[in-house]
Structure 1
Amino acid sequence: MKRTIIFLLTAIAVVSCEFLDPRPIEDLTTDELLGNAVYGEGLLAQAYAILNTEYIDYTEYYTDNAVPAVPGGNSLALGNWTVQGNPIGQWDAWYEAIGYLNMYLRDCKNLLYSVSDPALNKILQKQRRGEAYFMRAWYQWLLLRTYAGYPAGGGECLGFPIVTDVLSTSDNLDRPRNTYEECVAQIAKDCDSAIVLLPKWYNGSASYNNNSNAGRGSAMAAWALKARVYLYAASPAYGPSTQDLWVRAAQVASQAMDYYGGLNLHDFNYTTNNSGSLNNIWIQPEYSSNNWEYSFYPPSLFGYGACNPSQNLVDAFPVSNGYPIDETTLYNPSNPYASRDGRFDRFIFRNGTTQNGTVVQTYIGGDDAPGGLSLQGTRTGYYLRKLLNSNVRLTPGDVTTSYRFRVFLSKTELYLNFIEAANEAYGPDDATLGYSANTVLALIRNRAGIDSDPLTAGQQDQYRLDQAAAGKDAFRELVRNERRLELCFEGHRFWDIRRWNLPLDHTVKGVKITKSDLPDPTNLAPGATVSTDYCSPWETLSAVNDGFTPTSSTDNSHGKYGNWNSAGVWRYIQYDFAEPTSIAKSEIYWFTDGGGLLLPTQVYIEYYDSATDTWKSVENPSGYAVAADTWTTTVFNTVVTTGIRINFTNTTQSVGVIEWRVWNINYDSYDYVDVETHTFQDYMRYVPVPYRQTLIMSNLKQNSGW
């Protein structure tokens, strides 16, 4: 065989230099190179190197989730998508990777990794072969996800030309696209081969299976990929979307979950600095950087603010009780960021977000608005926060970095894949596979902090229960919204919209905030007349509005209110004002001695309505959570009243209060505006096969419409 110089081979430091041939590389034959672990494994390394490890998947800009900071930066979504200028996909690179992997699988079966340890040699041969099968499945999946579609003239959905052998110039390279289902079968076959050969995790103690190998394919990753592929195959955009296909997808996802270890929620996290998180199934090897923060932090944090999440996405986050913002009185349009699902503030920088002592200001004239610290500013009123590391500082003179990585496959996605498939196959509550879609979705929403009844032990989620009771169709809408939230900015939304056959056109919305010019909020309690229906005679009612700030819930230094012998009885404290007064917030500091005076078990606030001469509950309260050693805050729609009262009870003991403050709030004004209109033709549901390839390969049918 002719002597060859292989420029692409990259040595991986898993073998000793005892294997290096002393001759120059240009003097080695191809067989000699591929028989040497140092050189032969370079084929596998090159396939890994082709992985896209950019943080944000820019397809988010082609959806209703976000826009780029620079107008026109997503021209594809603005009606300028052409077959000759198609930015979606990497056909050549992915086939290049498949070519390396095919060569590795054919020529590198007997690489020598260790002369002194035959057992280790056998383990590494098996493991690396499994990685090659997994990586080939991965690149085949990328081709299928990206280029699947229906050819002009009709017929069944097509995928990509399957290539599992090493091609040469003498082979017929003009290959037709295989059917979608043929591609699914090939990917599943490679995943199954990988599962047999690979370790479940890289969490062992040996050099070949410890955490330093986290970027390599694993059996768990192969299971997760197979589940994803079957979910897409069941989707309506690619075929008949039959019951059998949904059952297949649900079964494989449940098998993957069982293989993982069943249902559990350890270490689900939203940061990028924990490569050992059990939410990670397959990740990019971690590295130290602050590039993401430079790209996506707001200007006030010394970032460029390149990604601007949409108001559409913000509105998709429910309120903390789990209900959509238009289906609950807990949502306050005058204070739209209060009492929201905890994921909202984890994923998005908004006006008022505080990080590292800096308050983000997206209101008109603020540091992070257009014309502020950056001429561009945010186009939507928001900046990307998800997966950025809050420990990274970019302050001049105090710049830090952090370890980070991209997550390719996660347990969160696996759960969501199961939920969707199980609901379509069996409905929300059928546990044929060991757990129901509803049960698994409960874990996802519980992690987000959803609780429709904070005063009851445990987390309640009445909205989820109602949607499940309403049936498959209603539950589907909840499932799709949860998928949108959990996987935002991870490259799923663009493809989910397409595979679900949802409308492609969107009007992306944003918000313009005008800051209130009224005086700062004031504690109104000291100017009120305090009264109650009962206070124990040895306690001090007047202490509750004397302006004192307690140090703890046992602080009795300034006196307190107590209603001894009131177990199970509703009591109240009332403030009366000489003139109608605007009130929008309550802060109360409860007293407890651990015995006769305890925290209340139930609370609610009322105001006096002079028009009807009745007491009415405040509207849109942010919640009545009860806690010791802190101010318990409730924000509600502003009332103009001469009286306000807080009602409370404890089912077994009495209640104590150290201080109760009530405040006016000067709300900013929110003007919701159209930012960008995304225009797609119907045929653009399917991405075009590269135009140049269709010119070269006459059998390569183009997707219809392109």
Structure 2
Amino acid sequence: MKRFSTIFYTICLISTLVSCISEYESEPRNVISEDYIWSDPTTLNAEYFISSIYATLPGGGNRLNGVALDCATDDAVPSDDGSGTWSVIRSGYSSTSTFDDKWATSYAGIRKANIFLANYQRVAWLDPLKKKWFPAEARFIRAIHYFELVKRYGGIPLIGDKVLTLTDDLNFPRNSVSECFQYLVSECDAIKDSLRTDPIPSTFFGRVGKAAALTLKTKVLLLAASPLYNTTNDLSKWKAAADAAKEVIDLGAYTLEANRYTLATARVNNENIFIRQGGSNANGYVYEVSPVGYRPGNTASAGRISPTQELVDAFGMKNGKAITEVGSGYDATNPYANRDPRLDQTIFYNGQTWLRRAVETFEGGQDKPNSTSIAVQTKTGYYSKKLLANDANSTTYSTVNGAWTIFRYADVLLMYAEALNEYAGPGAASTTTTADGKTINGVYDAVQAIRNRAGLVPYALANGLTQTQMRDIIRNERRVEFAFEEQRFWDIRRWKTAESVYGTTLHGVKITKNTAGKFMYEKIDVTTPFFASYMYVFPIDNAEILKNSKLIQNEGY
């Protein structure tokens, strides 16, 4: 871990040092030539280079206009009126005003991977394993970048292994989305047996293993099988996705962490399949999202994310029933009692204990003071708690893991359940054994494993569910399990449900406290986002269209 970070920061330092350059120098001394990198007999510079490729991986957290990507879904809105994400909520995106645009950064990462692949064989590798691992890792990261592009734009130009220069013809047409899917699957298959064996040892956690390649393959195939692109509901596409997820499970390398808070506090754990390295202390994020009335260390919290009532209502009861279900025990006058434990791990709500006091999101409370002295506060009556430690009884914020989880095992289980349900229904069996020796025998077992870990009692689902009923359960499990992990934004697009769940009024709660100390809860309108049918894919920035004569814009933009 320490060595991996040191390598990355060292190459950044070497690459950016500014030398005193006299008029007699033939080239700047701060420029490292290719020969210097690839002819180094120690291979150290080549290892620096592969580490710099890892640094191009996508991250998460409050990375867009100071808030999470989930603030552009039905799960949350920005607390700050000045956040640029509000313009997307109100007006969408266009080719001249893009959102979460990854075109340039992804192709820069692809180029860096291609440079390594074009040159690594010039190095006198003393370790045959590194010679096998490193090019496979570069191809995997290149595939991640292509997948980031396909998620956003559909079919995009595939440029192969060539390292392009300004003298090359840079006018590339877009490959079809099917060609992109085929390419990504073939890349994952080609490299999977050249990667490290899972689970990755803690000293090299963050490097690519076989499970990461198979998980990426699963995500590609699931996107290809989903309604956005599988318009005829070709069942063979769902089967391919289910088979790919089963291959990850069959490795027997990963399992669900018993305590979900472990995912926030320990980057090396039994559930994380692949992460983007980050700092060991991400407490800056904790201050960014915690309720505004908390000032541990005399530093104010910012409360930048306001989860919606729709997200809160998606969390069922601890007895496994939805809050609208007969016999659930839900009490509208005490709405947060006996709920799915994941609600407490994901959302700051009124009355919840945090740093030894009750959260106060009622009108005039410490965390919703309605005072000009605090410019930003919750718009919905809630704040985001996801990715934070369990600090209910602490006096200050705990250190949390600064890495960004790209793939975790819970996702594999729910992708497996979704694909198998769509292929053959909830009764479909496809036995596989997990790392902890438990048997997953089809859709029910995969979903129930998630619900069991969540702490639902009972966690078992009713027998005899229809395919539609199971589909709704799986989609809701994805929503509550992966809230604020950048899953919902893409899920409602691939399912083609964004128009119905996001292009409608989103709500919060207004909480008032009467003189007797009793709380009253009133559902309030917060915003009605703009979403049109063409927005299931992103526009390509108009600047890219002008630069490439063969690049065709997506419809609607």
Tell me the TM-score range normalised by the shorter chain.
Answer: 0.7 to 0.9
- 1:255 aligned onto 2:252: no
Give yes or no for contact 1:66–1:308 (8 Å, CA) kept in 2: yes
Which residue is 2:365 aligned to? 366
2:57 corresponds to which of 51, 61, 65 = 51
In structure 1, the gaps of 5 or more residues are 1-7, 14-23, 149-157, 204-209, 452-458, 520-666
Which residue is 1:220 aligned to? 211
1:407 corresponds to which of 400, 405, 408 = 405
Give yes or no for contact 1:83–1:691 (8 Å, CA) kept in 2: yes
Secondary structure of the residue that 2:211 maps to in structure 1?
helix
Which residue is 1:181 aligned to? 178
- Amino acid paired to 1:96: A
Which residue is 1:85 aligned to? 97
What is the rounded CA distance, in whole Å, between the counterparts of 2:474 and 2:208 in structure 1?
29
- 1:66 aligned onto 2:76: yes
Give yes or no for contact 2:222–2:238 (8 Å, CA) kept in 1: yes
What is the rounded CA distance, in whole Å, between the counterparts of 1:162 and 1:472 in structure 2?
40
2:120 corresponds to which of 108, 123, 139 = 108
Q: Displacement of 1:257 after TM fit? A: 0.9
Q: Displacement of 1:702 after TM fit? A: 0.8
- Amino acid paired to 2:282: S
Give yes or no for contact 2:265–2:399 (8 Å, CA) kept in 1: no
Go from structure 1 to structure 2 and tell me whether the alpha carbon gap of 1:392 and 1:406 turns closer, same or farther (over 3 Å shift): farther
Q: Displacement of 1:161 after TM fit? A: 3.3
What is the rounded CA distance, in whole Å, between the counterparts of 2:30 and 2:289 in structure 1?
45
Alignment of 1:610-689 (within 5 A): 667-689=518-540
Go from structure 1 to structure 2 and tell me whether the alpha carbon gap of 1:235 and 1:400 turns closer, same or farther (over 3 Å shift): closer
Give yes or no for contact 1:507–1:676 (8 Å, CA) kept in 2: yes
Go from structure 1 to structure 2 and tell me whether the alpha carbon gap of 1:394 and 1:81 turns closer, same or farther (over 3 Å shift): farther
What is the rounded CA distance, in whole Å, between the counterparts of 2:34 and 2:175 in structure 1?
32
TM-score by length of 1: 0.68
Go from structure 1 to structure 2 and tell me whether the alpha carbon gap of 1:200 and 1:166 turns closer, same or farther (over 3 Å shift): same
Give yes or no for contact 1:64–1:310 (8 Å, CA) kept in 2: yes
Go from structure 1 to structure 2 and tell me whether the alpha carbon gap of 1:514 and 1:168 turns closer, same or farther (over 3 Å shift): same
What is the rounded CA distance, in whole Å, between the counterparts of 1:27 and 1:422 in structure 2?
53
- Amino acid paired to 1:201: D
- Amino acid paired to 2:538: V
Q: Percent identity?
A: 32
Q: Displacement of 1:378 after TM fit? A: 0.8
Go from structure 1 to structure 2 and tell me whether the alpha carbon gap of 1:400 and 1:393 turns closer, same or farther (over 3 Å shift): farther
Secondary structure of the residue that 2:169 maps to in structure 1?
coil
What is the rounded CA distance, in whole Å, between the counterparts of 1:28 and 1:375 in structure 2?
48
Go from structure 1 to structure 2 and tell me whether the alpha carbon gap of 1:441 and 1:400 turns closer, same or farther (over 3 Å shift): closer
Go from structure 1 to structure 2 and tell me whether the alpha carbon gap of 1:170 and 1:376 turns closer, same or farther (over 3 Å shift): closer
Which residue is 1:690 aligned to? 541
In structure 2, the gaps of 5 or more residues are 1-7, 14-27, 296-300, 433-440
What is the rounded CA distance, in whole Å, between the counterparts of 2:444 and 2:314 in structure 1?
20
Give yes or no for contact 2:225–2:241 (8 Å, CA) kept in 1: yes
Q: Displacement of 1:25 after TM fit? A: 6.3
- 1:443 aligned onto 2:294: no
RMSD of aligned Cα (Å): 2.6
Q: After superposition, give the CA deviation of every residue in 1:108-164 in whole Å (9 maximum; x if it has no partner).
A: 124245xxxx4xx1111111112111111111111111111xxxxxxxxx3443433
Go from structure 1 to structure 2 and tell me whether the alpha carbon gap of 1:506 and 1:32 turns closer, same or farther (over 3 Å shift): same
What is the rounded CA distance, in whole Å, between the counterparts of 1:79 and 1:166 in structure 2?
38
Alignment of 1:188-587 (within 5 A): 188-201=185-198, 203=200, 210-240=201-231, 241-261=233-253, 264-267=255-258, 269-270=260-261, 271-286=263-278, 287-302=280-295, 303-329=301-327, 330-371=329-370, 374-391=374-391, 401-432=399-430, 434=432, 435-451=441-457, 459=458, 461=460, 464-466=461-463, 469-504=464-499, 505-518=503-516
What is the rounded CA distance, in whole Å, between the counterparts of 1:175 and 1:363 in structure 2?
56
Give yes or no for contact 1:56–1:490 (8 Å, CA) kept in 2: no
Q: Displacement of 1:103 after TM fit? A: 1.2
Give yes or no for contact 2:273–2:407 (8 Å, CA) kept in 1: yes
Q: Displacement of 1:381 after TM fit? A: 0.4
Q: Displacement of 1:247 after TM fit? A: 0.6
Secondary structure of the residue that 1:215 maps to in structure 2?
coil
Give yes or no for contact 1:134–1:191 (8 Å, CA) kept in 2: yes
What is the rounded CA distance, in whole Å, between the counterparts of 1:83 and 1:211 in structure 2?
43
Give yes or no for contact 1:109–1:129 (8 Å, CA) kept in 2: no
What is the rounded CA distance, in whole Å, between the counterparts of 1:357 and 1:26 in structure 2?
53
Q: Displacement of 1:477 after TM fit? A: 0.7
- Amino acid paired to 2:275: I
What is the rounded CA distance, in whole Å, between the counterparts of 2:177 and 2:420 in structure 1?
22
Give yes or no for contact 1:12–1:41 (8 Å, CA) kept in 2: no
Q: Displacement of 1:268 after TM fit? A: 5.3
Give yes or no for contact 2:50–2:138 (8 Å, CA) kept in 1: yes
Give yes or no for contact 1:101–1:136 (8 Å, CA) kept in 2: yes
What is the rounded CA distance, in whole Å, between the counterparts of 1:296 and 1:348 in structure 2?
10
Go from structure 1 to structure 2 and tell me whether the alpha carbon gap of 1:269 and 1:110 turns closer, same or farther (over 3 Å shift): farther
Q: Which has the higher helix share?
A: 2
Which residue is 1:35 aligned to? 39
Give yes or no for contact 1:138–1:225 (8 Å, CA) kept in 2: yes
Q: After superposition, give the CA deviation of every residue in 1:268-290 in whole Å (9 maximum; x if it has no partner).
A: 52342112211111112352231
Q: After superposition, give the CA deviation of every residue in 1:284-339 in whole Å (9 maximum; x if it has no partner).
A: 23522311111001122231000011100001111112121111341111111111
What is the rounded CA distance, in whole Å, between the counterparts of 1:32 and 1:474 in structure 2?
61
Secondary structure of the residue that 1:78 maps to in structure 2?
helix
Q: Displacement of 1:54 after TM fit? A: 3.7
Query: Larger relative CO (CA 8 A, sep 6+): 1 or 2?
Result: 2
What is the rounded CA distance, in whole Å, between the counterparts of 2:495 and 2:408 in structure 1?
21
Give yes or no for contact 2:346–2:386 (8 Å, CA) kept in 1: yes
Q: After superposition, give the CA deviation of every residue in 1:392-417 in whole Å (9 maximum; x if it has no partner).
A: 9997xx67644432111100111111
Go from structure 1 to structure 2 and tell me whether the alpha carbon gap of 1:400 and 1:349 turns closer, same or farther (over 3 Å shift): closer
Secondary structure of the residue that 2:310 maps to in structure 1?
helix
| Worse overlay, 409-418 or 192-201 | 192-201
| Worse overlay, 295-304 or 372-381 | 372-381
Q: Displacement of 1:421 after TM fit? A: 0.5
1:125 corresponds to which of 116, 120, 131 = 131
Go from structure 1 to structure 2 and tell me whether the alpha carbon gap of 1:349 and 1:29 turns closer, same or farther (over 3 Å shift): closer
Give yes or no for contact 2:117–2:161 (8 Å, CA) kept in 1: no
Which residue is 2:109 aligned to? 97
What is the rounded CA distance, in whole Å, between the counterparts of 2:192 and 2:334 in structure 1?
51
Alignment of 1:594-605 (within 5 A): none
Q: Which has the larger radius of gyration?
A: 1
Q: Displacement of 1:497 after TM fit? A: 0.8
Q: Which has the higher strand share?
A: 1
Give yes or no for contact 2:427–2:444 (8 Å, CA) kept in 1: yes
